[in-house]
Each structure stands twice: as structure tokens, then as C-alpha cells.
Amino acid sequence: MNIIYNGTEIYNDVDLTYCVYETFSERQADTLTLRFKDEDGIWSRWNPQTGGKVQLIEESCDTGIMFVYSTASENDAFTIRSLSLPQSKSLTMTQAWEGVRFLQIGNLIAQKHGLTFKNFGCKDQVYPYLKQENENDFSFYSGLCTLEGYQMIVYNEQLIVYDEAEKDSGLPEYSLDIVDNNAFAYNKRSTQYGCCEVSAGGYRGKYDIGDTGGLTLRPNSISDVEARVPGLALSKNRANIQCSSDAEAARFAKGLLRYVNKYSCIGRFTTDLMTGYAAASVINITNTLANLQNEAVFIYKIRHDFVNAKSTFYFRKVLEGY
């Protein structure tokens, strides 16, 4: 293992008691928590500041550069907590965007926060008017991605956006046979929506798949959608949806219908440490308990516990057609 702190390799100089890396496909920044013995109080006296850079590399797993957001000294141990987002993440803004493009916004936000910008399959939509009101840049852009059916992640000083439906429709990269039923959980939600209607700013739009019993979603905000998904933590996207045309409202309706329905079948499983997998990837899984046979699933979160040599994968069934 390599642990690099502000450019210096420290792994051989620390005694790790806790080391957990959580990586996400959307909505949340990746996190890395390191705890090691500090009986002599060396790290406590040094008191490293927030904003420092940490990177962990273990076999195929590379956290990329992470930014320290908190440190703590307690019980002869020192803890460093890091995020993939830079320290400027919390700065809130109120501004109007006029005649701006989707990829242009991403580029501007990335440059502002010292990141590079990468796009995988997202269309460069034009917005006549958008209002960012008392909201940080990453939350604002993540919400826009959700409306468009896209997702945003920050990894290794890169702001990355990708077309989620395109990812879902891709060929599975690996196949796993989960034989330990005690380490496997799978839940299928009975409620699915067949239609979403968006009404905002005098404009109306609708997207209808028409095959789930006629349930219609009529959200005012992204949080309204999240509240309909059991167990899904609410984001900070509580601002009312903004639209500048009927076509835009219909496009957003499609993105929000995908958002609420994609979590209808979710699960998780724990294995010995497996570093060769990444969040936002599609794999095939087989499990007799859940009656899954080479089922294509989308990995939306991975938790690597390096001290206990365990990996937990959180997945959902791929959503086809929209």
C-alpha cells in the first residue's frame, strides 16, 4: 500500500488501525478516512491543517488526490478525513446564467475550483436562463445533471460528467457469482412510476413510459423525487425546478423519471477485498437467493475496508429504455 500525504509517502511511518475508502457514482463525494496510532502525540503536535492532499494506492485501487477536510486526535490515535472535493466546495453563490451551455457550465465550475473537466456522452444543451441561488457550485451542477439524466463525480482533481443511460446500456465489464447469502441483500420496490410531469415558469412537459400502472410523478424539486425513494438520503437540491420552454420541461421530466425509478431494485454484497472494480460500472452478478442469473447491475457505491480486507458493493438493476 502507498499513502501519500502532501507529496510524501507515509505508509511505512504509520500504524493504521482504520482505513476506509468509499467511492460513489453520483450525488456524493468520495471519502477516505485514515486512523493510526499516535501514542507519542507527534501528529497531534504537528496538527496538520485542512486542505492538504492525500492519496491511497492499493493494488488496482487508486483514490486519486483527496482533500483533507478534518483531523482529530483522541485516545492515542490520529484521524484524517478526506474528500474528493476541494476545500472550496462549500462556497455558496447566487448568480444568473443566461444563454449558457451545459458543458460550458461544467468547464467554468471546474476551472474556478482548480479542477479539469471531462465529459463522457453528455449533450451540450443550451439554457436560456438558469438561477443559482445561495447554492454551492457542485450541488447546483449535480442537480442540473440529474434533470438531464446525467451524473457528476469528482475524482483525482477532475470534474467528470457522464450519460447515465448510456452507462446502463453498456456491456457488463465483469461477472461475479455471489455464493455467500449471508453477505448478500436484495430489495425490490413495488412502486414504480409510469409518467413524470414537470410544470415550472409557465411551461409544461411530460415523459410517459406507460407500463407501471399509471402512477404519475409531479415534482417541484429534485428533493421531491428523492423523498419517494425509501432509504435514499435527501440531497441539498431543494430549489424549485426551473424551465425555459416546454421542450426543456419534457427533457427534465424524462431525467426525473429515470431518477425515481432506477432505485426500484437495489442490493449489496460483501466480499474479501476486491480492488479491481469501480463505482459507475456495470457488471453481471449471479445469486441463487435472489434468483439472479447473470443479471446486469450498476455499481453506485463501493466501500473498501483495507484494515479488515473487505469490500462492500452497492448496486441497482440497470434501467433500460430511458
Give the span between the Cα atoms of 135 and 95, in whole angstroms: 9
**Superfamily name with CATH number, domain 169-188+264-317:** Bacteriophage T4, Gp27, baseplate hub, domain 3 (2.40.30.150)
The tens-digit pLDDT sequence of the chain (322 residues) is 999 999 999 888 889 999 999 999 998 899 999 999 988 888 877 777 888 999 999 999 999 999 999 999 888 899 999 999 998 877 888 999 999 999 999 999 999 999 999 999 999 999 999 999 889 999 999 999 999 999 999 999 999 999 999 999 988 888 888 887 778 888 887 678 999 999 998 999 999 987 656 688 899 999 888 888 876 766 666 678 999 999 999 999 999 999 999 998 899 999 999 999 999 999 999 888 778 888 899 999 999 999 999 999 999 999 988 8
And the C-alpha cell for 21? 475508502
Whether 31 and 21 have beta carbons less than 8 Å apart is answered as: yes
> Is 169-188+264-317 the same fold as 88-166?
no
**Beta-bridge mates of residue 281:** 299
Nearest of 46, 45, 89 to residue 67 by alpha carbon: 89
Helix (H, G, I), strand (E, B) or coil at 34: strand
And the C-alpha cell for 302? 463501493
Enclosing H/E stretch for 83 = strand 77-83
pTM: 0.92
Nearest of 276, 259, 178, 262 to residue 222 by alpha carbon: 259
| AA identity, residue 237 | N
Q: Would you report the helix, strand and coil content of the chain in percent, each value rounded to 5? A: 20, 45, 35
Q: For residue 28, give Cα distances in angstroms to 99, 208, 235, 302, 318.
A: 28, 29, 9, 12, 20
- Per-residue pLDDT, 102: 97
Q: For residue 290, give Cα distances in angstroms to 181, 187, 301.
A: 9, 9, 20
Query: Helices 246-261 and 137-148: crossing angle, nearest 10°?
Result: 90
| Residue 310: alpha-carbon gap to chain centroid | 21
Q: How many CB atoms lie within 10 A of CB 87?
A: 16
Query: Helices 137-148 and 102-112: crossing angle, nearest 10°?
Result: 160
- Per-residue pLDDT, 211: 67
Residue 266 has, within 13 A of its CA and on its CB side, a CA count of 14
And the C-alpha cell for 194? 409510469
Give the span between the Cα atoms of 51 and 42, in whole angstroms: 20
Give the span between the Cα atoms of 168 and 175, in whole angstroms: 15
Helix (H, G, I), strand (E, B) or coil at 88: helix
- Per-residue pLDDT, 236: 64
- Per-residue pLDDT, 234: 66
Q: For residue 152, give Cα distances in angstroms to 45, 90, 274.
A: 38, 17, 24
CATH number of 88-166: 3.55.50.10
Give the span between the Cα atoms of 294 and 82, in whole angstroms: 36
Q: Where are the domains of the chain?
A: 2-84, 88-166, 169-188+264-317, 195-261
